[in-house]
Homo-oligomer: A and B are copies of this chain.
Amino acid sequence: MVRLDATALHGSLREPVLDSVGFLNEVMSRYPDAISFAPGAPHPDSFADVDLQHYLDRFLDHLVHQDGHTPGQARRLLFEYGPSRGLINALVSDALARDHGITIPPASVVITVGAQEAMFLVLRALFRAAGRDTLAVANPCFVGITGAATLLDIPLVGVAETDDGIDLDGLAAACRDARRAGRPIRACYVGVDFANPGGARMSLPHRAALLELAEREDFLVLEDNAYGFTATGGDELPPLKALPGADRVVHIGTFAKIGFPGARVGYVVADQRVGDGSRLLADALAALKSVVTVNTSPLCQAVIGGMLLTHGGSLAQLGSAKAAIYRRNLAHLTTALDRHLDEARSAGIRWNRPAGGFFVRIDLPVPADAELLEISAAKYGVLWTPMAQFYLGIAGDRQLRLSCSYLDPDRIETGVRRLAAFVEKEVVP
């Protein structure tokens, strides 16, 4: 019987970040009747009306009438391998121009297996082997990016996040320190709108200042745009990639929330020139992708392409009905917290009030750790995510994250009641 020594496997496998999803799934599986505010997964209603055949037909029709394929050729494209860079790149670049004022050539888009693969490819392209270049992230941070960096042995530095996004003085100081230590910051990852998990949203001046800092300190900005679509109509802010200084921005998007996660379709815009200028960073990403996943399923791209076409080629239009679900849920969640946890405020319990996104953060006066989660699940039937797992270093140990995305309003109400009972009995006695 072969037994592999754990220390002989890659070091990332001993890092807690790779276990975080598994840990929550394990707790959830032991308490199937608990109301879980843990998963940041899209609401089931958001894909109740996915009509696969309709979307495929719509996309095939597009291939025939727009791209001049015969129906037979078009159908074959769904089943064959395809270019590593993707099949729906022009649809995505058109939509980005239409919705966000991001004007880039289709050749600078790579279609990826979700935003996750986009992050992974960008990190691999930008960071050399055993290099000392550092990735800066907001602290707390989405585990997908810190996990991918860990898998690639990329050094990380966390910079505190306020409700207005990553702290720019902190980031500037981190740049100076890192340069002095011979570990320059090569790139900085940020979720600009309603970041997972902190809920931060960068104001427009903050966005401009970040891009100025990037120029001054010579780093690239990796912009994750997963939650911007949940902004209230009229309250949308332009993504970094649409602002002056955007040539330093690599823009990452996903169809998991505005389409459906099971398609595993995301994208990255990387229009930076490489070397003599004849190649784009996107070309490098596509080359790397050819030895990671070869290409993103053309079948899945076709479904997403058809969805996009059915919604006027607009990301915003595709996402609008879904955004309404999440705005409704978030309002229910914060209202329920106000109603049921109000008395706990005197004991120092606080929560933030993001104007969009999936997540609310609660500060407790005691550690929100696995032990407390177990009590919450076993005795009160309510689950949440300890925030500490989203932080680099030891921090956030007295915070928890609630996600409103997956639950119905009545479950949110019941869940917050349970949470209030849990807080009253276990946290502030």
Contacts and interface: CB of A to CB of B under 8 A. Distances in A.
Given A130-B130, A299-B303, A292 B151 contact: yes
B293 A117 contact: yes
A394 interface: no
B9 A284 contact: yes
A218 B273 CA distance: 45
A281 interface: yes
Contacts of A13: 125, 284, 287-288
B293 A114 contact: yes
Interface in A43-61: 44, 47, 50, 52-53, 56
Given A79-B47, A129-B11, A274-B4, A124 B153 contact: no
Contact of A300 (B127, B151, B294, B300): B300
Given A3-B272, A80-B261, A273-B2, A128 B299 contact: no
Contacts of A300: 297, 299-300
A144 interface: yes
B41 A80 contact: yes
A3 B273 contact: yes
Nearest to A18: B287
> How many monomers of this protein are in the complex?
2
Given A2-B248, A124-B151, A274-B9, A22 B297 contact: no
A99 interface: no
A275 interface: yes
Among A120, A261, A297, residue most surrounded by chain B Cβ atoms (within 10 Å)? A297
A233 interface: no
Contact of A120 (B52, B79, B264, B292): B292
Contacts of A125: 9-10, 13
A287 to B, nearest CB: 4
A292 B292 contact: yes
Contacts of A150: 291
B2 A272 contact: yes
Given A3-B274, A9-B274, A299-B262, A151 B291 contact: yes
B299 A263 contact: yes
B128 A297 contact: no
Interface of A: 1-6, 8-13, 17-19, 21-22, 25, 41-42, 44, 47, 50, 52-53, 56, 76-84, 113-114, 116-117, 120, 124-130, 143-144, 147-148, 150-151, 153, 220, 247-248, 256, 260-264, 272-275, 277, 281, 284, 287-288, 290-300, 303
Given A8-B128, A18-B288, 9 more contacts: A1-B273, A2-B273, A3-B273, A9-B284, A18-B290, A52-B52, A78-B262, A130-B130, A297-B300
